[in-house]
Structure formats: structure tokens, C-alpha cells
């Protein structure tokens, strides 16, 4: 088995986390601070034109590359190594159990053999990688291994964007796993570090709401719902006669006429809170669990002021907006107030930037 591009192990440092979402390009660069801390060196967000990236696919390479170039220029960095991520829908992930004590080459053979059972494509058509998770639960002498596989063309699309922008793609991750890496920083902010508590991580982006239920770092449940911030952008376009780019820019800056909040923003927030409530009900009816201790809101929709209070009122669950940078130092080039406002939309980029500190 030849791994053309690692999905798990960084090959170089320093590193920028580069999140190519449907609505924007987001970049984050972190550095070490003290023994176990991090410092936010710089970050940038650049809005993508409508449909440049659609359903996780790079539909317009030239436009997307130009957007990445602008974001990188705004970063004012010399770092060109980037960690990218694929949407979860483009990646097949599976945990398998294998004997402990295998050599690396033996483990590769075992993983490829197991992968053939779960991947509905020829092994030659995919990028395949794996990572040892740890000892298998309650089974001595065996280990748990995470397999990740994606069709090569999906990986190559993302890499092509980076390379055309003059950057070096050294890591390809999965968006959901990158979010979970950033979530580990947030979990520490809960009482007892979130131990034995069920947390709903709600990542509401432009078109999709990803719901992940977590307990002690383990995923209990995942779900994807068709709901996102594009709905609000469309309402703004229709209501004020704007095009997509104008509406998206006005939404992000808050530069909208009087009446916007009551006529458009509040109804959208109520719909989002309803979707979160529905997600919890699906979780309760699909599992043996009947309560959630905390809700963490992430993604572009979570930057709307007051959204946490509205979700908390609707669900009667403690709700906070994600900030993986809480407690981090910031360099002189980062405005703390701006970072605070953007933090919840930078979960994937932050998780990717953290790959810099993974052991090689």
C-alpha cells in the first residue's frame, strides 16, 4: 500500500490550517506558547462567491484559488505548508480491531485487507490511511485502528487548490475530525473538564448542520441536517434586492437596514433553535440516552449575537458558542475582539492548525 498523501500525519512544520468551506476560505496559524499552550499567530477569512464550492466539491477552481491567494496574502506569513480537510461525506471512516504488536508493514497489509470489505471502490482509486487509536476496549492483545479512505479525485481537488495558490498541501484530514480536535480545547472549559458529560457539538455552516454527540471524547452519535446560513442570505437577497455577494457581506458586517433583526434575523434564529431541538429529539429516540448536558454551537451561523440564548431557551440545555481560542495568547497581528467574534466559525481551521503539534 502506498499512501500518496497522509490523512493523519503531518510531514512538515510550521503549518497553516486551511478550511475550504462552501461559503469562505478560513486560515489559522498557531504557535507554541509555554509548556502546553498555544498562541494565535494570525488568521484570515475570505468570502467565496456563490457556488465556487458546492456540496463539498470545488466547482470553480480559478475563483477558489484566487480566494485562497487573497487569504494567504492577508495572513502576512512566510508559511506555505497547509493542512486541508475533506467533508465527512467524501470520506469513509471505520474503526477496526487488529492484533497488537504488528510491525508497521504488517499493520499496513492488515489494514488494506480490512479496508477492502468496507470501501465500495477499487483500492487503486482511493487514498487510504490509518491511525492507531489505542488498546481495544475490553479485549487484551488487540488494538483499535481508524481507517480513512477517500476517492483520489476528491483529495486531488483540494490539493490542486493549494498548489495553484502556491501552497504545499502536507496533510489531508477530515472536517469532522478536525472539528473534534478543536473541540478538545473547548471541553476543558466545562466543569470537571466535561468528564462523563454528554455534549452536543452543533456545527451549522452555510448549507448543512452537522450534529455530533460526544461523551469523554467518544462519538456517541452523528447526524447531518439540511439547514444553514445560506437560507438567511437568500432571505436578505429577496428582501433588499441584493445579489449573493452583497447579501453575504452585509450579513457578516451587520450593515443592514433597520428592521432586519426583527424581520429576518430573529425568525432565522428561531428556526435554527428548532433544528437543534429536533436534533436532540432524534438523538434521544435513536439511542438509549435521554439527556444532553451541554450544547456547543460552531460554524458560521453561530456568530449571530444571541443565538446561544435562543437555543438554550428552546432546548432548556446549557448552551455556549464555541471558542477554541479561549485562554490562548494572541500575536500583535491578531485583534482579540475580531477573533472572539469569528472563533466559532474557525473550528475546522483551528483543528487543522493543531496538526502542527502532532508527533510525527
How much is the average pLDDT of 309-315? 97
Residue for grid cell 497581528: 333
Bond into 14 cis (ω within 30): yes
pLDDT > 60? residue 274: yes
Sorting pLDDT into bands at 50, 70 and 90, what band is 6? low
Give which of 52, 131, 76 is closest to 98, Cα–Cα.
131
pLDDT at 11: 45
Please give the Cα distance from 28 to 342 (Å, whole number).
11
> Are residues 165 and 58 in contact, defined by beta-carbon separation less than 8 angstroms?
no
Please give the Cα distance from 344 to 352 (Å, whole number).
14
pLDDT > 90? residue 102: no
pLDDT > 80? residue 303: yes
pLDDT > 80? residue 360: no
pTM of the model: 0.87
Sorting pLDDT into bands at 50, 70 and 90, what band is 255? confident
Residue 148: count other Cβ atoms within 10 Å of its Cβ.
Answer: 23
109 or 317, which is more confident:
317
How much is the average pLDDT of 180-191? 90
pLDDT > 60? residue 2: no
Distances (CA, A) of 11 to 154, 171, 356: 20, 7, 9
pLDDT at 348: 95
Written in H, E and C, the secondary structure of the chain is: CCCCCCCCCCCCCCCEEEEECCCEEEEEEEEEECCCEEEEEEEEEEECCCCCEECCEECCHHHHHHHHHHHHHHHCCCCCEEEEEECHHHCEEEEEEEECCCCHHHHHHHHHHHHHHHCCCCHHHEEEEEEEEEECCCCCCEEEEEEEEEEHHHHHHHHHHHHHCCCEEEEEEEHHHHHHHHHHHHHCCCHHHHCCCEEEEEEECCCCEEEEEEECCEEEEEEEECCCCHHHHHHHHHHHCCCHHHHHHHHHHCCCCCCHHHHHHHHHHHHHHHHHHHHHHHHHHHCCCCCCCEEEEECHHHHCCCHHHHHHHHHCCEEEECCCCCCCEECCCCCHHHHHHHHHHHHHHHHHHHHHHCCC
- Average of per-residue pLDDT values in the chain: 89
How much is the average pLDDT of 188-204? 91
Give which of 156, 171, 150 is closest to 16, Cα–Cα.
171
| Residue range 154-184, pLDDT digits in tens | 899 999 999 999 999 999 998 988 999 999 9
Question: What domains are defined for the chain?
Answer: 16-89+153-182+328-357 (3.30.420.40), 190-321 (3.30.420.40)
pLDDT > 80? residue 224: yes
How is residue 72 written as a grid cell?
494567504
How much is the average pLDDT of 10-22? 81
Percent of the chain whose predicted confidence (pLDDT) is above 70: 96
| Residue range 104-159, pLDDT digits in tens | 888 888 888 888 888 887 888 888 888 888 888 777 888 888 888 888 888 999 99
Sorting pLDDT into bands at 50, 70 and 90, what band is 359? low
pLDDT at 306: 94
pLDDT at 231: 94
Residue 37: count other Cβ atoms within 10 Å of its Cβ.
Answer: 12
pLDDT at 96: 86
Amino acid at each position: 500500500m502506498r499512501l500518496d498523501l497522509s490523512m493523519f500525519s503531518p510531514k512538515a512544520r510550521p503549518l497553516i490550517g486551511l478550511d475550504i468551506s462552501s461559503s469562505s476560505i478560513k486560515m489559522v496559524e498557531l504557535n507554541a506558547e509555554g509548556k502546553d499552550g498555544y498562541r494565535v499567530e494570525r488568521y484570515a477569512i475570505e468570502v467565496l462567491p456563490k457556488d465556487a464550492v458546492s456540496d463539498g466539491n470545488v466547482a470553480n477552481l480559478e475563483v477558489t484559488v484566487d480566494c485562497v491567494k487573497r487569504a494567504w496574502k492577508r495572513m502576512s506569513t512566510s508559511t506555505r505548508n497547509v493542512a486541508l480537510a475533506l467533508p465527512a461525506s467524501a470520506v469513509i471512516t471505520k474503526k477496526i480491531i487488529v492484533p497488537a504488536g504488528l510491525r508497521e508493514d504488517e499493520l499496513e497489509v492488515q489494514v488494506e485487507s480490512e479496508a477492502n470489505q468496507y470501501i465500495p471502490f477499487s483500492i487503486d482509486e482511493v487514498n487510504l490511511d490509518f491511525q492507531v487509536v489505542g488498546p481495544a476496549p475490553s479485549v487484551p492483545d488487540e488494538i483499535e485502528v481508524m481507517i480513512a479512505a477517500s476517492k483520489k479525485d476528491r483529495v486531488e481537488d483540494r490539493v490542486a487548490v493549494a498548489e495553484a495558490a502556491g501552497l504545499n498541501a502536507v496533510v489531508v484530514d477530515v472536517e469532522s475530525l478536525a472539528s473534534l480536535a478543536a473541540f478538545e480545547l473547548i471541553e476543558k472549559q466545562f466543569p470537571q473538564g466535561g468528564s462523563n458529560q454528554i455534549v452536543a457539538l452543533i456545527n451549522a455552516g452555510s448549507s448543512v448542520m452537522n450534529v455530533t454527540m460526544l461523551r469523554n471524547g467518544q462519538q456517541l452519535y452523528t447526524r447531518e441536517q439540511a439547514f444553514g446560513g445560506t437560507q438567511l442570505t437568500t432571505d436578505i437577497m429577496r428582501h433588499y434586492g441584493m445579489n449573493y455577494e452583497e447579501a453575504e457581506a452585509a450579513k457578516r458586517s451587520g450593515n443592514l437596514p433597520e428592521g432586519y433583526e426583527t424581520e429576518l434575523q430573529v425568525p432565522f434564529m428561531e428556526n435554527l433553535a428548532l433544528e437543534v431541538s429536533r436534533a436532540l429529539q432524534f438523538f434521544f429516540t435513536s439511542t438509549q440516552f435521554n439527556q444532553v448536558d451541554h450544547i456547543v454551537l460552531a460554524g458560521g451561523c453561530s456568530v449571530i449575537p444571541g443565538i446561544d440564548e435562543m437555543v438554550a431557551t428552546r432546548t432548556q440545555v446549557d448552551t455556549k458558542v464555541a471558542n477554541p481560542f479561549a485562554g490562548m495568547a494572541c500575536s500583535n497581528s491578531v485583534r482579540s475582539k475580531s477573533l472572539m467574534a469569528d472563533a466559532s466559525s474557525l473550528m475546522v481551521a483551528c483543528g487543522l492548525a493543531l496538526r502542527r503539534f502532532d508527533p510525527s
